[in-house]
Amino acid sequence: MSDECKTTGFTPQQVARWPNVHKHLCGTLELPTLDSVSEEVILNIGEGIESMLKSEGPTPKQLKARAGLFRHLKRTLEHRFKNAELQQFGSSQSGLTLQAGDLDLCLQFKGDIPAKALRQVNRILKQHDMEDIVMLPRAKVPIIKFKDERTKIPVDISINNTLALHNTELLKRYSACDERIRSVILAVKHWANRRDVSDAASGTFSSYAWTLLAVQALQQTTPPVAPVLQEGQERSMVEVEGTTYDLTMREVDSITMDPKNNQSLGELFVEFIFKYAASWPFKDQVVSVRTGSPVTRKSKKWKHATPKAEKAVLMEKKTRLGQHSLPIEDPFDLKHDLSRVLRPAGALDIQEEFIRACLAMGDGGRWDAIVEAKNPERFVPVAEFDLFEDLRKKSKEEVATLLSENATAIEALDERMNALTEERKHNVRMSRALRGTIEDTTELRNELRTIVRTLRPRSKEMDKLQTTRDEINKRIGLPLYRIEELLTDVYKQLTGEIDLFQVPSLRREEDQFSWFFELQAMHAEATKAQEAHKAFIALLKEQKDAVRSLKANEKEQQKHKAELLESEPMLKDMDLNFSDAMQFDKKAHKLLKVIDQRRTELRRLRREKGRLDAWVRISSNPSRSSNRHGNKGGGKRGGGQKRTKSGSADWKPRNNGPRPEDVQQRAASGGTLSLTDLDVLLNSGGLSTVTKKQPSPKASRRQERKKKVNARNLTPHRGERSQSRKGRKD
C-alpha cells in the first residue's frame, strides 16, 4: 500500500516538512482572523522586535570590521583595475543590516569591462587569502561570493551592478520615511533568516525580496505607513547599460503621510504575516512596490507557468519550478521577477512559514517561538576573534624568536621570488624574441618552402627527359645533324638528274627509297631527343637558379638568427619555430602560478610580521594592552602578577594600580589619599615631586590627545602597516 497522500501525492516526509501547506492543499486548513490575535501577543511581538533590533544589529566593532574590509578590498581592486570603482550597496549601504547580513560590493567600470574580469578578481581574492570563493559568471549580474578569512564577513562582489545602486538608494529612502519601516523590514529579514527561507542560492527569497515584501505590506496598511516613492509627475529616465529605466525616486523630505498611521511595531509585523499567509496575493497578483499595491498577473503577462511547486516536488529532484511562482516585481527592472530564484521546495517552505507564523500568532505564540531557529546549528555564536590569542601565552623571548624566524622566512622568500621573477622574465623574453624573429623571417621561410617544394618535381622531370633523350640516341645511334646530312644526300640522289650512263638498277632505287624513309623516321625520333635535351637543359638552369635562391635565403635567415643570438645568446641551439616559442610561454605561465603562490605566502608572512610587531608594541605598553583587540579577559586580569624569569607575566596586559601622576595630582590638589596611593607616591619620588611635576591643564590635555593618537596608531590595520610598501604594490 502506498504511503502517499491520495489528494496531494505528498510522501509522509513531505507532509512532515509542509504540514500546513498540505492541510491547505487538502482544504482542511483553518487560519485565525487578524482580530483574533490578542493584545498581549501584539505587545510581546513589538517588544521582541525592539530587543532583537538591539541584540542583532551590527555592533560598532562589526561595523568597523566591515568598513576595514571594504577599504582593503577597494584599495586592492582599484589598484588592479584602474578604470573601476568599488562601491557598496545592499543593506550595509541602506542601513537595513543585521549582524547576519553580507557585504554587497560592486565593481563599477567606467568604459569597457576587461575580459575575464571576474576571474581576475578571483585571483586577487585568492592571493589575499579569502575563503569559500564561488564565482557565478553566468548570473544575471556576474558575481563572486566569498568570506573574509580573518573576520568571516560574507561578501558578494558583482560587476557593473548599476541598478542595484539605485534600488539600494530607494530602500534607504523608504527606511528614512518612518523608523517603523526600517524596524519592520529588519524584523521580517530576521524572521525569514531564522526560519531558513532567506537564501536565494538555496532556492528561497533573497533578503532583498523579503525587503520588498515588507515595504509592500507597509504601503498597504490603512492608512499606509510607507509612501510610494516612485510616483510623481516628473519622470527621471536614465540609460543603464543600453536600456532606459525609469529611476524616478521622490525625496523623503517632500513626503507627508496624511492621515498618519499610528499602528505599533507589533501590529505591523502581525499584519505583514497575515497579509501574505491569509490572502496569498501571489495567486493572481504580482507584488509591486513601484505602484504601492499588487498589480494583476494579467497586466504583467506573468502567468504562473507549470509545474507549480506542489506538483514539482512530486517530480524528479531537479524539476524546475514554473516561472513567476510567487511574483515580485523589481522596482526598476520591471521585467525582473524576484521569484526567479525559487525552487519548488523553497516556494513551499515560504508558504509553510507564513502559515506557521500566522497560526502561532492566533494561538498566543510568543516572539521567541515565532522566530525560533529552524536549524539552530546555523546560529551557534562564533567565538569572538582575538588577533593575539596565541601570542598572549608566549614570553617576550618566544615572540622575539617568532619575529626573527619570520624575518628570515621573508628574506628567503623574497630572494626566491626575485629568482622566480627573473626566470619568468627570461622565458617571456625568449618567447618574444623567438616569436619576433619568426615573424621577421616568415616571408623568407615561406619563400624557402616554395623553392624547396619545386626542387623535387623538377628533378623528377629532368630524369624523365634525360631517359627519353638517352633511349632515343641509343636506339638511333646517329646524331641529328648526321641524319639530316644523309637525308639530304639520299634525297639528292633520288631526285637529281639521272646519268644516262649510270642508270641505277631498280633494286638499288628501291633500297635508296627505303633508306630515305628510314632516315625520315630516324629524323623524327632524333628531333624528339633533341627537344627532350633542350627541355632538360632549361630545367637544369631553373634548378640551378633555385638552389642559388635557396642558399641566398638561408644566408638571409642566418643573418636574422645571428642578430637574434646577439641579443639572446641562449637561443643558440634552437630552431626558429613556434613550438619552441610555445614551450617558453608554457614555462612562463607555470612560473606565474608558482610566483602567485609564493606572493600569497609572502603576503601572509608580512601580515604575520605586522601582527607580531603590533603585539610587541601593545604588550610593551601595558596601559594600552587592555581589551582593544578582542582580548575578552585582557582588561580584567588581576593586578598582582609578578614578572617571572621568562617575563611571561609582565608580557600580559596588567592593571598596576593607580598611576603616580594621578596620585601626585590628587595630592597637590589636596584630595584624599589611600595607603596604596601613599605607597605609589613614595615609590615615585615622594611628596617633593608633587608641586614640581604638576602639569598645566593645557599640557595635560595635549598629553591626552597624544595618547589617543598613539593608541590609534597601535591598532593593527589590515594591509597598510601589516604589508610592506613592496607588498602593497602587489
What is the size of the binding site for Mg ion (CB under 5 A)?
4
Classify each residue of 22-53 as buried b or exposed e, where b means 16 or more C-beta atoms within 10 Å of its C-beta.
bbbbeeeeebbebeebeeebbebbbebbeebb
Q: Judged by CB, which is closer to ligand CTP: 21, or 163?
A: 163
Q: Kindly state whether residue 211 participates in binding ligand CTP, applying the rule CB under 6 A.
A: yes
Q: Kindly state whether residue 89 participates in binding ligand CTP, applying the rule CB under 6 A.
A: yes
Question: Which span (108-116, 204-212, 271-279, 677-685) binds ligand CTP, by CB under 6 A?
Answer: 204-212
What cell was used for 404?
626573527
The DSSP element (H or E) to which 560 belongs, if any, is helix 506-567
The DSSP element (H or E) to which 265 belongs, if any, is helix 265-279
Question: Which span (203-211, 393-401, 426-434, 532-540) binds ligand CTP, by CB under 6 A?
Answer: 203-211
Q: Which residue is nearest to ligand CTP (CB)?
A: 101
Query: Considering only residues 41, 66, 81, 104, which one is a binding residue for ligand CTP as defined by CB under 6 A?
Result: 104
Q: Kindly state whether residue 96 participates in binding ligand CTP, applying the rule CB under 6 A.
A: yes
- CA-based R_g, the chain, Å: 46
- Contact partner at residue 313 from Mg ion, ligand CTP, none, CB < 5 to 8 Å by partner kind: none
d(CA 618, CA 610): 12
Question: Which span (101-109, 381-389, 452-460, 625-633) binds ligand CTP, by CB under 6 A?
Answer: 101-109
Q: Kindly state whether residue 197 participates in binding ligand CTP, applying the rule CB under 6 A.
A: no
The DSSP letter of residue 139 is: S
| 279 and 63 Cβ atoms separated by less than 8 Å | no
Question: Which span (50-58, 87-95, 286-294, 396-404) binds ligand CTP, by CB under 6 A?
Answer: 87-95
Q: Judged by CB, which is closer to ligand CTP: 96, or 228?
A: 96
Q: Kindly state whether residue 104 participates in binding Mg ion, applying the rule CB under 5 A.
A: yes
Query: Considering only residues 52, 164, 218, 361, which one is a binding residue for ligand CTP as defined by CB under 6 A?
Result: 164
| 661 and 703 Cβ atoms separated by less than 8 Å | no
- Lookup result for grid cell 629568482: 419
Q: Kindly state whether residue 168 participates in binding ligand CTP, applying the rule CB under 6 A.
A: yes
DSSP states of 382-419: PPPP-TTHHHHTS-HHHHHHHHHHHHHHHHHHHHHHHH
Question: Which span (95-103, 129-137, 391-399, 656-664) binds ligand CTP, by CB under 6 A?
Answer: 95-103
Query: Considering only residues 162, 206, 264, 493, which one is a binding residue for ligand CTP as defined by CB under 6 A?
Result: 206
**Helix 265-279 × helix 179-194 angle, to 10°:** 50
Question: Which span (63-71, 96-104, 405-413, 523-531) binds Mg ion, by CB under 5 A?
Answer: 96-104
Query: Considering only residues 4, 47, 50, 102, which one is a binding residue for Mg ion as defined by CB under 5 A?
Result: 102
What is the size of the binding site for ligand CTP (CB under 6 A)?
18
Q: Judged by CB, which is closer to ligand CTP: 286, or 402?
A: 286
| 667 and 674 Cβ atoms separated by less than 8 Å | no
Q: Kindly state whether residue 90 participates in binding ligand CTP, applying the rule CB under 6 A.
A: yes
Q: Kindly state whether residue 292 participates in binding Mg ion, applying the rule CB under 5 A.
A: no
Q: Kindly state whether residue 325 participates in binding ligand CTP, applying the rule CB under 6 A.
A: no
Q: Kindly state whether residue 160 participates in binding ligand CTP, applying the rule CB under 6 A.
A: no
Bridge partners of 156, per DSSP, are 104, 145
Q: Kindly state whether residue 199 participates in binding Mg ion, applying the rule CB under 5 A.
A: no
d(CA 295, CA 286): 5
Rounded to the nearest whole angstrom, what is the least distance from the CB of residue 153 to ligand CTP in the complex? 11
| 661 and 680 Cβ atoms separated by less than 8 Å | no
d(CA 610, CA 619): 14
Query: Considering only residues 8, 87, 97, 351, which one is a binding residue for ligand CTP as defined by CB under 6 A?
Result: 97
Residue 394 — φ and ψ, nearest 5°?
-95, 150
- Bridge-based pairing of strands 295-296 and 84-89 is unpaired
Q: Kindly state whether residue 246 participates in binding Mg ion, applying the rule CB under 5 A.
A: no
Q: Kindly state whether residue 571 participates in binding ligand CTP, applying the rule CB under 6 A.
A: no
What is each CA distance from 238 to 87, 332, 336, 337, 467, in whole angstroms? 19, 11, 17, 21, 86
Rounded to the nearest whole angstrom, what is the least distance from the CB of residue 382 to ligand CTP in the complex? 17
Question: Which span (201-209, 292-300, 348-356, 412-420) binds ligand CTP, by CB under 6 A?
Answer: 201-209
> In the Cβ-directed half-sphere of 93, how many Cα atoms lie within 13 Å?
19
Rounded to the nearest whole angstrom, what is the least distance from the CB of residue 88 to ligand CTP in the complex? 10
Rounded to the nearest whole angstrom, what is the least distance from the CB of residue 338 to ligand CTP in the complex? 5
Handedness of CA 362, 364, 366, 370 (dihedral sign): negative
d(CA 158, CA 138): 11
- Lookup result for grid cell 533590533: 53
**Of 725, 713, 724, 711, nearest to 610 (Cα)?**
724
Q: Kindly state whether residue 168 participates in binding Mg ion, applying the rule CB under 5 A.
A: no
Rounded to the nearest whole angstrom, what is the least distance from the CB of residue 618 to ligand CTP in the complex? 33
Q: Kindly state whether residue 331 participates in binding ligand CTP, applying the rule CB under 6 A.
A: no
Q: Kindly state whether residue 327 participates in binding ligand CTP, applying the rule CB under 6 A.
A: no
| 313 and 345 Cβ atoms separated by less than 8 Å | yes
Q: Kindly state whether residue 183 participates in binding ligand CTP, applying the rule CB under 6 A.
A: no
Question: Which span (89-97, 193-201, 367-375, 434-442) binds Mg ion, by CB under 5 A?
Answer: 89-97
Q: Kindly state whether residue 56 participates in binding ligand CTP, applying the rule CB under 6 A.
A: no
| 163 and 333 Cβ atoms separated by less than 8 Å | yes
Bridge partners of 109, per DSSP, are 84
**Of 639, 703, 685, 693, nearest to 666 (Cα)?**
693
| 127 and 599 Cβ atoms separated by less than 8 Å | yes
- Contact partner at residue 164 from ligand CTP, Mg ion, none, CB < 5 to 8 Å by partner kind: ligand CTP
Q: Kindly state whether residue 90 participates in binding Mg ion, applying the rule CB under 5 A.
A: yes
Q: Kindly state whether residue 601 participates in binding Mg ion, applying the rule CB under 5 A.
A: no
Query: Considering only residues 338, 402, 410, 433, which one is a binding residue for ligand CTP as defined by CB under 6 A?
Result: 338
d(CA 324, CA 433): 59
What cell was used for 637?
586580569
Question: Which span (127-135, 162-170, 462-470, 622-630) binds ligand CTP, by CB under 6 A?
Answer: 162-170
Query: Considering only residues 47, 50, 78, 102, which one is a binding residue for ligand CTP as defined by CB under 6 A?
Result: 102
Bridge partners of 136, per DSSP, are 143
Rounded to the nearest whole angstrom, what is the least distance from the CB of residue 327 to ligand CTP in the complex? 13
Q: Judged by CB, which is closer to Mg ion: 168, or 216?
A: 168
Q: Judged by CB, which is closer to ligand CTP: 206, or 459?
A: 206
Burial of 186 (0-12, 13-18, 19+ CB in 10 A): buried
Rounded to the nearest whole angstrom, what is the least distance from the CB of residue 241 to ligand CTP in the complex? 13
Interacting residues with ligand CTP (CB under 6 A): 89-91, 96-97, 101-102, 104, 163-164, 167-168, 189, 206-208, 211, 338
Interacting residues with Mg ion (CB under 5 A): 90-91, 102, 104
